[in-house]
Structure 1
């Protein structure tokens, strides 16, 4: 990777498109479509194994993205934190001063891996920086021995692979966190939701709170959006089940 590759014409246009598309990746399905779509121009592959965490201590987790259905035995053989195939590749990458590693799939001895990996593999990673997690990407099923061109473009795209993967992981971590409706809704929105529970119309709620029906409608639309529900009944159910509306009832007594 000491020699640069001339990036011009179609290569330059596709590189900019690949980088631009990566910036919008925040969800798992978006990462899959990006990796199995425009990224294929630079790194044609069948399966991509993403590893992230503390690479040197092996405190990592893995995700497999493949255009084919993978055997559970393959996933285990690739990603086991102690005996999996990815860990020796990371060790080889570290020994090579973090330069890309490639090999023929014919050299793989594990039967479960050999069934899924035809052709060649190429892997590269992004080391941890300032306490952040590192990442490592193993591309399987390349149709030809990866050369300087593939290694060069993989190096160019590595920061974008790294950031797209971590945006995906951070988004999934946020989605797994329990939502606290009380911290999501404003005091006025909680008050409006309580009157909705009591069967009041927008006009009646406006009279009670001394605001216009249009303002009430806007409050309700924000409530639906914040609680990720589609109608007033669902919003009330969320408010009741979370105990959010009990405090309003107590205040009225």
Structure 2
């Protein structure tokens, strides 16, 4: 894999083709089918959605939280994360980052069709606790306007921290006036493709218009020597993390 570091610096992101192998995407799908069928059978429910996992997540409550939390720890998800980091290392990305103490771990984002509670408006990442950080966002199903994807604003990271509108604490967002919407790009990607991006890049969710779940792998890359100080009320990165905690508390 060749990474255009000049474009990464200029645009705040680069596309990574096939960063998650197709075989791993297929194993993830198989695991989801098995988990979905088992969960519905246990509750004596029939499948109504194209994805049985969606039926289970719509049950809500503590079960939903437990299911989603543990999806992140599937063995195949951990293997995806290791593969992504290894690929980035081979491509010279880790050397380019030059982190002194690298934190690298994967997690999963799953969007249920028709739900907007957890969709993200245009924002800069709230959940990044380090001043030096990058993330990989990879789609585990084809991504686009119909299937759901990500909007990005190339070059917006160069503005640094942008004040978010927190009038609705459940949905902090970057106001339209803070960026040039004419330059916004909708990512059209195949399963296994992704982007490496700066957390200061303005970006937001594109909900799926069909009845299928949307799954993304996120791999966080942080330099722990630049960890924000939550005891410092003037630390802007810690302030972002506090904004995220408020958001999560309000929206449940």
| Superposition TM-score tier, normalisation by shorter sequence | under 0.3
- TM-score, normalised to structure 1, is 0.27
Q: Report which of the two structures shows the higher radius of gyration computed on alpha carbons.
A: 1
- Greater share of helix: 1
- TM-score, normalised to structure 2, is 0.28
For CA contacts below 8 A with separation 6 or more, give which structure has more relative contact order.
2
